[in-house]
């Protein structure tokens, strides 16, 4: 029997992986695409653990690459459900890299994935609500509402605005462009 509400701790997921030379880019740092793949995996695991059903990635709301990850560092990703809608969940992920020789830990990435719970036919299904137990939980939930509202506003503005029209040329003023109409 699925619970009507779950605590954030019940769905929290942490994974660690040693970064190998095969994960690096041409600059000798861990490739951002590889990190994105790991982020998607942990977001799936966290959302599926919370909803107890298969989940799909609906959107990647934010990925902030803060510091490069080096070959040989131990990367730890911590994911938690920050917000739930009727069938969607916003998964917050923190990425840290540890130099295993010195013990130095650095915050490398913060990401937010919107995941949707699906049944075997691919229809969206309801997810359990969240039990918020701390001011930090409430802060994350409230920030997620704000993030959702901003995303909705951006979508509306983007679809309502005709960016091809000459009356919008003032928008590109001051940017590194050359207009040749």
Q: Give pLDDT tens digits for 90-146.
A: 999 999 999 999 999 999 999 999 999 999 999 999 999 999 999 999 999 999 999
Distances (CA, A) of 113 to 24, 74, 84, 110, 141: 23, 22, 12, 10, 14
Percent over 90 (pLDDT), the chain:
77
pLDDT for the residue numbered 132: 96
Domain positions in the chain? 5-161
pLDDT for the residue numbered 1: 61
Q: Give pLDDT tens digits for 45-55.
A: 999 999 999 99
Q: How confident is the model at residue 161 (pLDDT cuts 50, 70, 90)?
A: low
Return the biggest CA–CA distance within the chain: 64
pLDDT for the residue numbered 73: 98
| Range scoring the smallest mean pLDDT among 73-82, 146-155, 163-172 | 163-172
The answer on pLDDT for 64 being more than 70 is yes
Q: How confident is the model at residue 56 (pLDDT cuts 50, 70, 90)?
A: very high
Domain 5-161: assigned CATH number: 3.10.129.10
Say how far apart CA 5 and CA 88 lie, in whole Å: 14
């Amino acid at each position: 029997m699925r619970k009507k509400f779950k605590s954030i701790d019940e769905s929290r997921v942490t994974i660690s992986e040693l970064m190998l030379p095969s994960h690096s880019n041409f600059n000798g740092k861990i490739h951002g695409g590889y990190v994105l793949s790991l982020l998607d995996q942990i977001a799936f695991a966290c959302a599926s653990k919370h909803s107890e059903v298969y989940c799909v990635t609906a959107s990647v709301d934010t990925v902030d690459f803060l510091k490069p990850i080096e070959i040989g560092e131990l990367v730890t990703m911590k994911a938690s459900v920050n917000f739930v809608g009727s069938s969607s969940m916003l998964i917050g992920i923190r990425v840290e890299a540890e130099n295993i020789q010195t013990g130095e830990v650095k915050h490398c990435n913060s990401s937010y994935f919107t995941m949707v719970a699906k049944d075997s036919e691919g229809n969206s299904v309801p997810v359990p609500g969240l039990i918020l137990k701390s001011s930090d939980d409430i802060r994350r939930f409230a920030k997620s509402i704000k993030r959702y509202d901003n995303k909705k506003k951006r979508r509306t503005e983007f679809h309502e605005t005709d960016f091809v029209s000459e009356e919008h040329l003032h928008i590109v003023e001051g940017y590194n462009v050359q207009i040749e109409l």
